[in-house]
Amino acid sequence: MPFVKQPVKIGSTYMTLNNSFYKTINEEVKKQVSQNGDILYTRDPGLSVSKQCQQIYDFIDKKVDVILINPVNGESKQIQHALKIAHDKGIKIVVVDSQLSDSSFVNANVVSDNFKAGVLDAKYMMKSSPQAKILVLRHWNALSVKERYRGFVSEIKNNPNYQITENLETLGQTDVALKNVQELLKVDPDKFDIIMAMDDQSAVGALAAMDALNLHNKIMVYGIDGSTNMKHLLLSNPNAQATVAQSPIKLGQKSI
């Protein structure tokens, strides 16, 4: 009998698809899956650890061959436990754009150099501003963000001209960043010279907050990702200073 290739079944789940970065990664995955005649199940946990765990268990029930995951929380024992069960059943685990604190059961990890991204933002900031009081926007559940933050701090820690005066949680979401930054700046618009966002979604929210308060040419905003939205704002918004680019297209291609 002739050999008939069975389609590879892939389950993909990203921390949120309310982010064009992860949509682009998944579009690249879908292109290759379609060309190969394979099967892709894509799920959106909406930043919920429990939903992402349930999605992993659903993938196990569907007997997928591979789980492609961007974890909601890289340190979550629940997510790691679910992935270990999948791995023990012979399912390959590919982690994209972030890490897990325990990667002993991970078959591949596809990431940019997040530490270097933080370093590059810091170096450009120090080149552009002789001193700064800095507000950092971060999504602390993401280990990629912790690496970016570590890289940023490594460059400024021995220079007293640059001080992080506050860290603000944004969940990597534009609307959360907009609300939280706006509340801070309403109280004291002179508290910060620089807003250093560990992702472009948060940077876009910070820029929207300043637009709402008519704070122009006052606080410079930095991001990381090189997203389309942020690149447009660099050309049009006087408060947008820089972003460190990574390629979701290449991340998707390498993952698949």
Span 41-60, pLDDT tens digits? 999 999 999 999 999 999 99
Report the share of the chain in percent with pLDDT over 70: 98
Closest CA to 243 of 117, 137, 115, 94: 117
| Contact in structure between 181 and 197 (CB atoms under 8 Å) | no
Predicted confidence band at 2 (pLDDT cuts at 50, 70, 90)? Answer: low
Domain parsing of the chain, residue ranges: 9-111, 114-247
Write the class of the CATH domain 9-111. alpha beta
Produce one character per residue of 134-170: b if its CB has 16 or more CB atoms within 10 Å, e if not.
bbbbbbbbbbbbbbbbebbeebbeeeeebebeeebeb
- The per-residue pLDDT for 228 is 86
Identical fold, 9-111 and 114-247: yes
Task: Say how far apart CA 230 and CA 214 lie, in whole Å.
Answer: 19
pLDDT band at 30 (very low <50, low <70, confident <90, very high): very high
What pLDDT was estimated at residue 164?
97
- In this prediction, residues 201-205 reach a mean pLDDT of 96
pLDDT digits (tens, 9 = 90+) for 90-136: 999 999 998 999 999 999 999 989 999 999 999 999 999 999 999 99
Topology of the domain covering 114-247 = Rossmann fold (3.40.50)
pLDDT tens track for 141-198: 889 999 999 999 999 999 999 999 999 999 999 999 999 999 999 999 889 999 999 9
Q: What is the pLDDT of residue 60?
A: 98
CB atoms closer than 10 angstroms to residue 101: 12
